[in-house]
């Protein structure tokens, strides 16, 4: 914690004279702020950048490893990115787009590893095959059509498809253990998938910038007010340990505060946030560190969401590696809390309601009664019912091997759309002031995996007069920048191969030595 820096910032701030404490101030210590700070340091190394985090450590909310599934979202297995059309065909457009975005993120990680700014990629990313798994004749047909739509695309090269229970038992033994072999099943497998610890990555990015003198960090500071000053913003808050207040000015502010971004942008008074609201959704997972089970399931396996369930409820059984220790995680089981952050206030939802977003929020409530019913059912679900959901994936699952953990809060975007009224949006939304002096990010998945393209979007929108000058530095980090890899098979193969090699993702073992004796003690 840098209390001295805060005091100095308050003393020297003189926004009226065109002098600011920071060129860029980032609110929130998660993967988005870490990525923005990293990119800005490459293109403007002389700029003074600061991060303000509410909690006493970084990446404790959505970026924390147990607050998300750790999937490197490349749409290799996530069926919610490939909806079925009314005629039975499958739309793969969004899947290709998300994969393109993830490749930008991977290239930045590889650049930082090659330049010594991320010394050990195995500390935050591991190879983990990505599987899509379905059962029932109709779902098998859907998955076959999805596979046919993706397999020729260079970004999905090497994807495999099977309807053979024996092959599937080899790919993921737990899925077939105890399953009726007469039931139609199908799966796709992509060996290029990953498991990512975004918490570790966040801390390493920010620590590296601090060590190089490129960033000032304040933790334990809750930002309360964002006020326009001549040419920038004044950011004020309080130190939660009672030691004083935070008061600084910045030419540009980025709000990457997870669910709390909505409230902070509302407090800024910018017109662009009008009409936006948020619907908070919490989640729970079941986790096991039983070494026998972990050794038998080394993959991330995604299924289809239940009829009437929202896209973020897609069930999945995942390999996880956190702090070098492997485990399995299944979920999510949806829940509800009015908090916008896991460590937020019970009044967050109420405080976000404004006259300009009240009607859109009510319209979303009326139009999404099936979501309300689904959440109520999830909240009332017994442990036996939750176990049955796990057993649909892993028929031999025993509740005694698993413990329940609470994941991070997600605030789904509610926006006012002309001609449609209030719409519930699943995904992310960048909100930027017209003058480019402040921006923020709303929404959730695939957020962290696409942090680089999202932050590039923010930079292009908020610094249009500088962005072209930054392009050479950006292309050094991202060799494919400006090119669609899906339209260039040779370049796609080169980029995917190089990043896999640099990040240590081209080894066949998923967990390697991590699955050795004693690596994963059984859950108590």
Task: Report the C-alpha gap between 492 and 490 in whole angstroms.
Answer: 5
CA 226 to chain centre: 26
Q: Which fold has domain 3-502?
A: FAD/NAD(P)-binding domain (3.50.50)
pLDDT for the residue numbered 313: 73
Q: Describe the crossing of helices 93-114 and 464-477 by its angle, rounded to 10 degrees.
A: 70
pLDDT tens readout for residues 33-54: 999 999 999 999 999 999 999 9
What residues does 235 pair with on adjacent strands? 226, 248
DSSP-assigned beta bridge partners for residue 284: 333, 406
HSE of 400, CA atoms in CB hemisphere, 13 A:
0
Non-local (6+) Cβ contacts of 19 within 8 A are: 12, 13
Find the Cα–Cα–Cα–Cα dihedral 495, 501, 506, 511, rounded to 10°: -130
Element (H, E) at 477: helix 464-477
Helical H segments across 69-135, by residue range = 93-114
Q: What is the pLDDT of residue 18?
A: 53
DSSP string, 319-386: EEEETTEEEEEEEEEEE--S-SSTTS-TTHHHHH--HHHHHHHHHHHHHTHHHHHHHHHHHH--HHHH
- Count of residues for the chain? 524
pTM of the model: 0.90
- Is 193 in contact with 171 (CB distance < 8 Å)? no
Phi-psi group of 242: left, alpha or beta (phi > 0 → left; psi -120 to 50 → alpha; rest → beta): left
Query: Which residues have a Cβ under 8 Å from the Cβ of 143 and sit 6 or more positions away?
Result: 79, 132, 134, 161, 186, 187, 188
Judge contact between 333 and 381, C-beta under 8 A: yes
Q: What is the rounded distance in angstroms from the CA atom of residue 518 to the CA atom of residue 320?
A: 16
- Whole-number pLDDT of residue 1: 39
Question: Up-side HSE of residue 430: CA atoms within 13 Å toward CB?
Answer: 22
DSSP letter, residue 177: T
Torsion of CA 330, 333, 334, 338, to 10 degrees: -90
Q: What is the pLDDT of residue 479?
A: 96
| Residue in 506, 69, 151, 81 with CA at minimum distance from that of residue 327 | 69
CA 401, CA 399: separation in Å to the nearest integer?
5
SS3 assignment, position 480? coil
Q: Is the peptide bond before 446 cis (omega within 30 degrees of 0)?
A: yes
Task: Report the pLDDT value the prediction gives residue 4, as an integer from 0 to 100.
Answer: 36
Domain map (residue ranges) of the chain: 3-502
Residues near 135 by Cβ (< 8 Å), separated by ≥ 6? 183, 184, 185, 186, 392
> CB 152: neighbour CB atoms within 10 A?
10
Contacts 24+ apart (CB under 8 A), 368-371: 368/424, 370/308, 371/308, 371/310, 371/424
DSSP string, 297-334: --SEEE-PPPTT--GGG--EEEEEEETTEEEEEEEEEE
Which positions ≥6 away from 104 have C-beta within 8 Å? Answer: 450, 452, 453, 456, 478, 480, 481
Instruction: Walk along the chain (524 residues) in steps of 10 and give the mean pLDDT of each run.
Output: 39 50 96 97 97 95 91 94 93 97 97 96 96 96 97 96 97 95 96 96 97 95 95 94 92 95 95 94 92 95 78 85 93 88 91 92 85 80 90 94 91 90 87 96 87 96 97 97 96 96 77 40 32
Query: For residue 417, what is the DSSP state?
Result: E
- For residue 307, the model assigns a pLDDT of 65
């Amino acid at each position: 914690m840098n209390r001295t820096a805060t005091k100095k910032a308050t003393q020297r701030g003189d926004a009226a004279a065109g002098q600011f404490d920071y060129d860029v101030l980032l609110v929130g210590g998660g993967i988005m702020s870490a990525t923005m700070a990293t990119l800005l340091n490459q293109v403007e190394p002389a700029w003074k950048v600061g991060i303000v985090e509410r909690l006493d450590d970084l990446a404790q909310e959505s970026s924390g490893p147990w607050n998300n599934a750790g999937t490197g979202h490349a749409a290799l297995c996530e069926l919610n990115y490939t909806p079925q059309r009314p005629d039975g065909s499958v739309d793969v457009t969004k899947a290709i787009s998300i994969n393109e975005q993830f490749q930008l993120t991977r290239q930045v990680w590889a650049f930082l590893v090659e330049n010594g700014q991320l010394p050990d990629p195995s500390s935050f990313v591991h190879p983990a095959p990505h599987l899509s798994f379905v059962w029932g004749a109709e779902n098998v047909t859907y998955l076959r059509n999805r596979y046919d739509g993706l397999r020729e695309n260079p970004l999905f090269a090497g994807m495999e498809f099977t309807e053979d229970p024996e092959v599937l038992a080899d790919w993921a033994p737990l899925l077939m253990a105890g399953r009726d072999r007469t039931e139609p099943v199908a799966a796709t497998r992509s060996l290029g998938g990953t498991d990512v610890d975004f918490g570790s990555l966040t801390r390493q990015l920010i620590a590296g910038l601090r060590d190089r003198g490129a960033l000032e960090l304040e933790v334990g500071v809750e930002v309360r007010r964002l006020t326009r000053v001549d040419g920038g913003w004044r950011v004020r808050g309080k130190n939660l340990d009672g030691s004083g207040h935070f008061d600084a000015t910045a030419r540009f502010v980025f709000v990457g505060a997870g669910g709390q971004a909505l409230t902070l942008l509302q407090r800024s008074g910018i017109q662009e946030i009008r009409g936006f609201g948020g619907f908070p959704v919490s989640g729970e997972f079941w986790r096991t560190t039983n070494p026998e089970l972990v050794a038998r399931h080394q993959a991330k396996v995604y299924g289809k969401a239940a009829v009437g369930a929202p896209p973020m409820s897609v069930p999945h059984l995942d390999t996880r590696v956190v702090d070098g220790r492997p485990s399995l995680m299944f979920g999510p089981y949806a829940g509800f809390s009015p908090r916008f952050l896991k460590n937020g206030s019970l009044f967050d939802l109420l405080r976000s309601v404004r006259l300009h977003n009240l009607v859109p929020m009510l319209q979303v409530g009326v139009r999404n009664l099936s979501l309300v019913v689904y959440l109520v059912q999830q909240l009332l679900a017994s442990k036996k019912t939750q176990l049955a959901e796990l057993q649909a994936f892993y028929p031999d699952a025993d509740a005694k091997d698993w413990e329940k953990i609470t994941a991070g809060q997600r605030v789904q975007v509610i926006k006012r759309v002309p001609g449609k009224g209030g719409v519930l949006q699943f995904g992310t939304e960048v909100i930027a002031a017209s003058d480019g002096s402040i921006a923020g990010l709303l929404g959730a998945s695939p957020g962290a995996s696409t942090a680089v393209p999202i932050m590039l979007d923010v930079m292009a929108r908020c610094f249009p007069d500088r962005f072209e000058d930054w392009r050479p530095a950006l292309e050094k980090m991202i060799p494919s920048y400006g090119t669609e890899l899906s339209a260039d098979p040779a370049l796609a193969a080169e980029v995917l191969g190089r990043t896999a090699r640099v990040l240590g993702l081209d080894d066949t073992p998923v967990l390697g030595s991590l699955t050795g004796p004693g690596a994963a003690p059984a859950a108590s």
